[in-house]
A and B are shown apart, each in its own frame.
Chain A
Amino acid sequence: MHYQDLVLQPLKQLLADYPWLEDFFGSFGLQLQATEQTLQQYLDRLDPDHLLDLGISQEQLQQSLHDFMAGMLALDEAAEKVESLTIIGGFDKTGSAEQLELTLKPGEVICIVGPTGSGKSRLLADIEWVAQGDTPTKRKILINGGVPDNKWRFSTEHKLVAQLSQNMNFVMDLTAEEFVRMHAESRLVPDPEEKVARILEQANQLAGEQFKPDTPVTSLSGGQSRALMIADMAILSKSPIVLIDEIENAGIDRKKALELLVKQEKIILMATHDPILALMGDKRLVIKNGGIAKIIASSDAERKNLSRLEELDNTLLALRNRIRFGETLEEL
């Protein structure tokens, strides 16, 4: 439905169909009532002095309403499907050409490795910005083989990229359940309650230690927060590309976490130095001096070693648990 048609509907109907309208007006200090008057009539009857007090003009309120409704209605539209992401090489920090064209497909996991300051985060940022030769690396990013619409850069509804950040702190004073609900509501997902329950359940499967829905987010442990954010991203995010910048791995089942994300048919790029995560990836991009210096496909020999690494990891985990439960390590 278009803005022009919407404003001619009675508020009663509109509030039933688009409950977010109430919150939108609330954010400007205005209250909508479910009456028979149309939205346009309501707008026309607003007292200019009252609006002046609220710090908004009639014209601007209508413009904002128009833009907001366009955004909300866009959330319902299916996002353009991303079948492939192509990185066209630029130049490293010394000015040498990268000379590569790399195409990634949904379900692939690409690890990005390299020493500190080598340009791992820059590569992730190039993808997030859908760079077109306009970043320091001069890389170009293509979506489905073509130059994507500029809207990807600024869209909040159809973000191309969801980024799982290094930091998992919370400052909001909410419980885990309230927090996830607020996030789900802000994304207007259908059946938010079901999603909230699933996210909490998944998070508890990933986290080493269980938490309750009414645990305040600010008192979650590092591992629990990471588990919650990964479950949240897997279940709420519609973004076809996931960037993970050095996720710490303590207190969370890395393998399950990655599987959960891969299941959603996303393209996953992950800066990591964790050998287990690196071997779980399909390819490793080795970054040197700001450029992609090498691409290593995980080999069979490496895959075989993966199970050995996992054993080592489990051994360490078992030791960690023994320490946790007050045992001694005099005998391993």
Chain B
Amino acid sequence: MHFLTVSGPPSSGKTSVILRVIEALQAKQKKIGVVKYDCLMTEDDLSYAKKGVLVKKGLSGSQCPDHYFVSNIEACVSWGVENDCDFLISESAGLCNRCSPHIKDITAVCVIDNLSGINTPRKIGPMLKSADIVVITKGDIVSQAEREVFASRVKQVNPGAVIMNINGITGQGAFELTSLFEEASDIETLKGMRLRFSMPSALCSYCLGETRIGDEYQTGNVRKMES
């Protein structure tokens, strides 16, 4: 089963791009499963279900969604294998710029959009900087010079990646992206694999539910701004 992790900032076009790829894969009679991870709510699972693919969703609630992802993804991969999927795609919203769901030896895709501002590529952590494929969406809204400037900013922080411009609405470029999905990592299990980058959680008192403000309530791994 081909397995890919797709992540990116909220509303960058992850679902749209995955849907366009699904259409291209379905035209080739491929069976597809999608796992959607989000924090508070998502309706993406309905969009996927409408395409007739297998869907699973997980809401992390009070946890960092990427931590939640890594605690559950092995079981999801087994689920995809048991259901004879040819492709399993995970979509996770990159809500925490420090964490990233990307796994060593598993094809990692980051979706980012042209409207997010030229400094955004610098601000996103390993989710972008360690991805194998970077998809840039919403090129239809800007001029080609702006697309080039944005792509060069992405290239600067992830020079090894394949960078592609895809229109999440019309699907322009999705066919070409699909050919990269077909070359993606092919696995039966995630056993023994590792994340590309560690995801430390500070584990301070607030992580554990503290709501009161003040030094006396701060225990564990606490960091202070330089004064």
List the interface of chain A (C-beta within 8 A of B): 23-24, 26-29, 52, 54-57, 60, 63-64, 67-68, 70-71, 121, 125, 129, 134-136, 153-154, 156, 162-172, 179-180, 182-183, 186-187, 225, 229, 232-233
Structural contact, A186 and B142, CB atoms closer than 8 A:
no
Partner of A233, one of B130, B144, B173, B198: B144
Identify the stretch in B31-39, B55-63, B69-77, B121-129 within 8 Å (CB) of chain A at 4 or more residues: B121-129
> Across the two chains, which residue of chain B brings its CB closest to A225?
B143
Report how far A274 CA is from B158 CA in the complex, Å.
Answer: 41
Report how far A54 CA is from B198 CA in the complex, Å.
Answer: 12
Structural contact, B129 and A60, CB atoms closer than 8 A:
yes
With a CB–CB cut-off of 8 A, which chain A residues contact B140? 165-167
With a CB–CB cut-off of 8 A, which chain A residues contact B148? 183, 186-187
In angstroms, how far is the closest chain A Cβ from the Cβ of B165? Answer: 9
B203 close to chain A: CB less than 8 A: no
With a CB–CB cut-off of 8 A, which chain B residues contact A26? 122
Structural contact, B156 and A23, CB atoms closer than 8 A:
yes
Partner of B175, one of A60, A67, A135, A156: A135
A156 in contact with B144 given A27-B156, A186-B152 (CB within 8 Å): no
A171 in contact with B126 given A23-B156, A154-B162, A165-B143 (CB within 8 Å): no
With a CB–CB cut-off of 8 A, which chain B residues contact A183? 145, 148-149
Structural contact, A169 and B141, CB atoms closer than 8 A:
yes
Q: Is the interface of B mostly helix, strand, loop or mixed?
A: helix
Report how far A154 CA is from B121 CA in the complex, Å.
Answer: 19
B98 close to chain A: CB less than 8 A: yes
Mask: chain B, 157-178; 1 = CB below 8 Å from A; 0 = not: 1111011100000001101100
In angstroms, how far is the closest chain B Cβ from the Cβ of A99? Answer: 23
A167 in contact with B142 given A183-B148, A186-B149 (CB within 8 Å): yes
In angstroms, how far is the closest chain A Cβ from the Cβ of B202? Answer: 11
Report how far A63 CA is from B130 CA in the complex, Å.
Answer: 10
Number of A-B contacts (CB under 8 A): 111
Structural contact, A171 and B200, CB atoms closer than 8 A:
no
Structural contact, B129 and A55, CB atoms closer than 8 A:
yes
With a CB–CB cut-off of 8 A, which chain B residues contact A180? 145
Partner of B159, one of A54, A64, A154, A163: A64
In angstroms, how far is the closest chain B Cβ from the Cβ of A264? Answer: 16
Report how far A67 CA is from B97 CA in the complex, Å.
Answer: 23
Report how far A206 CA is from B102 CA in the complex, Å.
Answer: 48
Q: Which of B142, B147, B155, B156 lies at the interface centre, i.e. has the most chain A CB atoms within 10 A of its CB?
A: B156
With a CB–CB cut-off of 8 A, which chain B residues contact A64? 129, 157-160
Structural contact, A67 and B159, CB atoms closer than 8 A:
yes
11 pairs of residues in contact across A and B, judged by CB atoms under 8 Å: A26-B122, A28-B157, A71-B159, A156-B155, A162-B144, A170-B142, A172-B118, A179-B146, A186-B148, A186-B153, A187-B148
Structural contact, A52 and B200, CB atoms closer than 8 A:
yes
- Known pairs A27-B153, A135-B175; list 4 more (Cβ under 8 Å): A52-B198, A60-B130, A165-B140, A165-B143
Structural contact, B159 and A68, CB atoms closer than 8 A:
yes
Partner of A171, one of B115, B130, B155, B163: B115
Structural contact, B143 and A229, CB atoms closer than 8 A:
yes
> Across the two chains, which residue of chain A brings its CB closest to B223?
A53
With a CB–CB cut-off of 8 A, which chain A residues contact B145? 179-180, 183, 229, 232-233
With a CB–CB cut-off of 8 A, which chain A residues contact B146? 170-172, 179
Mask: chain B, 104-131; 1 = CB below 8 Å from A; 0 = not: 0000000000110010011001100110
Q: Which of A56, A129, A186 lies at the interface centre, i.e. has the most chain B CB atoms within 10 A of its CB?
A: A186
A167 in contact with B143 given A27-B157, A67-B160 (CB within 8 Å): yes
Structural contact, A169 and B142, CB atoms closer than 8 A:
yes
> Across the two chains, which residue of chain A brings its CB closest to B147?
A165
With a CB–CB cut-off of 8 A, which chain A residues contact B144? 162-165, 229, 233
> Across the two chains, which residue of chain A brings its CB closest to B160?
A67
In angstroms, how far is the closest chain A Cβ from the Cβ of B96? Answer: 10
